[in-house]
Amino acid sequence: MSTGQYNYSYIFKYIIIGDMGVGKSCLLHQFTEKKFMADCPHTIGVEFGTRIIEVAGQKIKLQIWDTAGQERFRAVTRSYYRGAAGALMVYDITRRSTYNHLSSWLTDTRTLTNPSTVIFLIGNKCDLEAQRDVTYEEAKQFADENGLMFVEASAKTGQNVEEAFLETARKIYQSIQDGRLDLNAAESGVQHKPSQPGRNTLNNDQQQNRYNKDNCAC
C-alpha cells in the first residue's frame, strides 16, 4: 500500500458537496475504506481522502476533499472549489429539501470551478426505497437538463459508489485525451505533457519518459 501510493501517473482533485446529512462523508469512507461508517460525526470545514484507481491502463490517484454541508461552513468551503477536476454533488433521496437545494450547489460549482470540471450528481441512500421522496426520473431529468452525470447510490450497501467515482475519473481522463481539459493547452495544441495547471500532476518520471517515448513514434 505504501509502495502503491507513489506509483501513479495523474492526480485528480475531487470535491464532494451537498446539504448536511446527505451522506457525503459516508460515501467517501465507503469508497476509500470499502465499509460503512454508521456513527459519522459532522464534518468541520473540509476532510480528506485518497485512493488510487486505474483508468485506461493509467494509475490515477484521487485526492478527494469532503466539504461540510452546514450553511455556516459554506463560505469557508468555497475556497476549496478552485482547481477541482471533478465535483460530486450529493442529495438524499429520502429528503426532498436536499434535492431542492441542488440548484444552489450547482450555481456555486459553476461559478467557482473551471468550465471543464466534471460534475456528477449522486442520489444517496437508495437502499431506503420505502422512504423515497425524489423519483429517479425527476432527478435524471434535472441531471440531463444541466449536463450532469447521474447515478443513485447507497453508502450503506456500497451500491454504485465505486461507479460514481470511477465514471468521473474516466470522463476527466477523456477530457485530457481530447485536449478539452485546459483551454490554453487546447488552443496552443500542446499535448506532450499530460499535466494541467492546478488540477492534475504527472508524478512519475519513468511514466513521463515512456509517454514521451511513445510520442516519438508518432
Give the interface with another protein as residue ranges (CB under 8 A). 2, 5-6, 11, 13, 41-42, 44-48, 50, 63, 68, 72-73, 75-77, 79-83, 182, 184-185, 187-188, 190, 192-193, 195-198, 201-203, 205, 208-209, 212, 215
Cβ closer to another protein: 114 or 160? Answer: 114
Taking the complex as a whole, the smallest distance from the CB of residue 141 to another protein amounts, in Å, to 31
Kindly state the cell numbers that stand for 153.
447510490
Q: How far apart are the first and last CA of the chain?
A: 35
Taking the complex as a whole, the smallest distance from the CB of residue 116 to another protein amounts, in Å, to 12
- Which candidate, 126, 128, 127, places its Cα nearest to that of 150? 126
- Sort residue 63 into left (φ over 0), alpha (ψ -120 to 50) or beta: beta
Taking the complex as a whole, the smallest distance from the CB of residue 59 to another protein amounts, in Å, to 14
Taking the complex as a whole, the smallest distance from the CB of residue 203 to another protein amounts, in Å, to 7
Which amino acid belongs to residue 202?
L
- Establish how many alpha carbons lie within 13 A of residue 187's alpha carbon, considering only the half-sphere containing its beta carbon: 3
Cβ closer to another protein: 129 or 189? Answer: 189
